[in-house]
Amino acid sequence: MPHYTAFFALIIISTAVLLTIFIRKKDKKLVVLLFFIIGMAYVLEYVVFVLFESYDYDPDFMTNEYYDNLFGSLTSQAFAFPIMAMAVAAYQLKFRYILIISTMFMGIEELFLHWDIYTHHWWKTIYTGVLMTIGFSISKIWYVWLTERYMTFVHYATFFLGMLAITSTIMFMLLAYFHNNWFYTGWFASATHDSVNATMIYVCIVTILLVWSAAKEFFIGAGIIIVGLRIVDIFLIHYGVLLVSITTSLVLFYAFTSRCINSERYASKFYYEKLLWDEQKRRCVSSEELLR
């Protein structure tokens, strides 16, 4: 059996669960929650997987070894875990069911180890179980916060991690498709690993700036950020940190610029329709309570 079969099976099953939840619940806030969870998973995976090289995946689906490794990681962090966490939140499952689901994921991990399509370095399966339990619990609480109360930190954190999830995924797809070592910092022996690490930092900075521009209602901020990025890119190319061919550079320029603009639109919509509307509603409720 090809290695990638198990990974695609996990994606198909997760997608089926996702569609079932959306059809039954019909709650748009679950979409927001899903991207928040993916972003949260990406941040943790960046630290554990990219920086400290805790484990390796071997789906044997992509020709580039590190991109193949990263594809296996995305199977878990962009599909299996966040979708199941969303299910826990949507149905507000009790803690005993969270433990059962976490144990199930530990079983899947052990099965992948047995099939030699996944390898531990310093990681242990029990770490997965503990982090899954924590992640599911956070998702459950976070959904209640998004639904029932206004908290500035919760909304901005949701916004930032959601944008980080979208932008990071798009950048990975672009880099993997063009097989281009975009950044070179010399931090890791593998050029692709080095490029992915620097790209994550780059994307994180861009996302912070976009969220800030939306939060401050600075609508020309996206355009300024995009122009600023191009200037930074020129300096990075000049000093040999950013290495791209002319064709790939143009493609990445237009693709990432479009993503920035779309992110800003999403930011503005989320900020006005969710944050401000909820804040106004909260104030109205408070005013009514005072009048009573």
User: Do residues 174 and 83 touch, judged by C-beta distance below 8 A?
Assistant: no
The predicted pLDDT at position 245 comes to: 61
Residue 204 reports pLDDT greater than 50: yes
pLDDT digits (tens, 9 = 90+) for 126-180: 999 999 999 999 999 999 988 877 677 888 888 889 888 888 887 787 777 766 5
User: Do residues 164 and 203 touch, judged by C-beta distance below 8 A?
Assistant: yes
- The C-alpha atoms of residue 105 and residue 219 are separated, in whole angstroms, by 43
Q: What are phi and psi of 234, to 5 degrees?
A: -60, -45
Residue bearing tokens 């006005």:
272
213-216-218-222 Cα dihedral, nearest 10 degrees: 10
The predicted pLDDT at position 243 comes to: 74
The predicted pLDDT at position 1 comes to: 73
Q: What 3-state DSSP class applies to 240?
A: coil
Q: How far apart are the first and last CA of the chain?
A: 69
- The C-alpha atoms of residue 135 and residue 142 are separated, in whole angstroms, by 10
Q: Side chain identity at 58, as an amino acid letter?
A: D
- The C-alpha atoms of residue 64 and residue 58 are separated, in whole angstroms, by 11
User: Do residues 273 and 279 touch, judged by C-beta distance below 8 A?
Assistant: no
CA 14 vs CA 3, 7, 164, 231: distances in Å: 18, 11, 21, 41
Read out DSSP for 62-90? SSSHHHHHHHHHHIIIIIIHHHHHHHHHH
Q: Which class for 285: exposed (0-12), middle (13-18), buried (19 or more C-beta within 10 A)?
A: exposed
224 CA to centre of own chain? 25
Residue 263 reports pLDDT greater than 80: no
Name the packing angle between helices 246-270 and 191-215 (round to 10°).
30
What lies within 8 Å, CB to CB, of 128 at 6+ separation is 102, 105, 106, 109
- The C-alpha atoms of residue 203 and residue 167 are separated, in whole angstroms, by 7
**What is the average pLDDT across 15-19?**
96
Beta strand segments in 135-266, E: none
The predicted pLDDT at position 185 comes to: 85
Q: DSSP state, 239?
A: T
The predicted pLDDT at position 257 comes to: 54
pLDDT digits (tens, 9 = 90+) for 24-62: 998 888 988 999 999 999 999 999 999 999 999 999 998
209 CA to centre of own chain? 17
Neighbours of 39 (CB within 10 A): 26
Which pair of structure tokens corresponds to residue 129?
Answer: 């179980």
- The C-alpha atoms of residue 13 and residue 27 are separated, in whole angstroms, by 21
The predicted pLDDT at position 253 comes to: 53
